[in-house]
Amino acid sequence: MSRVIRAVSCVIAALAGVACAAQARPPIVAAASDLKFAVTEIAARFEADTGRKVQLNFGSSGNFARQIRQGAPFELFMSADEDFVFELANAGLTRDRGELYAVGRIVLYAPKGSSIRLDADLKGLREAWGAVRKFAIANPEHAPYGRAAQQALQALGLWDFVQPKLVLGENIAQTAQFVTTGNAQAGIIALSLALAPELQRQGSHVLLPETLHNPLRQRMVLTRRAGETAALFYAYLQQPPARAILKRYGFLLPGE
């Protein structure tokens, strides 16, 4: 690692309240699945810059919050809903109340060649409903993006309409997979997933108005278990290289 990179990593470490030191083991990061592509890219950049690794686990924010309450060994929690972070903080399971790192958006996503006309008020979905066997969203009970999808469908008067064909993903990444594998003919997924090259090759999307749902305010926090590498990664996520990656995947950033 060059002297410049080492100096930069030490500055970031100082911001996190830790010193540059050899890593004993990769800390486990619990990250909302809308971050699958963005945070994987950030973690690779982090390793290249600092020589340190993190272990990424992707899933639904609600399930991760429950697991942390039950003692799961996560050191950093990146939630798609800041309320889960606040609940853990109130329970004394985190260092503090964390930092807002992004605001997410949702899209209607359909495979290439679909007969569904993609429009922001979902009229095209209704018109092509006869060709739809299954319509996918994430489970609103524990997935923030599923809750936002439900709110959008309710706002457009379509929640009851889609019920007979609704299929629920355990998390938003699985929801996207339902569509890309043909197990659903369309779905509401995270913009951050729709912008990934893999999903852009396989489908198309239209952004849904943010007025249709509560803001997807995404907050991260270090747990009481966090060690120095987790704290270093937490600080790195707030630096320009990481923020640029999040922005490229469609996230709105605090302070911009």
In whole angstroms, what is the distance from residue 70 CA to residue 85 CA? 15
CATH architecture of 106-207: 3-Layer(aba) Sandwich (3.40)
Q: Give residue 256's pLDDT band: very low, low, confident or very high (50, 70, 90).
A: confident
Whether 140 and 149 have beta carbons less than 8 Å apart is answered as yes
How crowded is residue 170: how many other Cβ atoms within 10 Å of its Cβ?
16
**Tens digits of per-residue pLDDT, 162-213?**
999 999 999 999 999 999 999 999 999 999 999 999 999 999 999 999 999 9
CATH architecture of 3-103+217-248: 3-Layer(aba) Sandwich (3.40)
Question: What tokens appear for 162 in the block?
Answer: 């889609």
The structural domains of the chain, with segments of one domain joined by +, span 3-103+217-248, 106-207
In the block, which residue shows the tokens 């950033």? 253
Q: Identical fold at 3-103+217-248 and 106-207?
A: yes
Q: What is the mean pLDDT of the chain?
A: 93
Q: Average pLDDT of 50-64?
A: 98
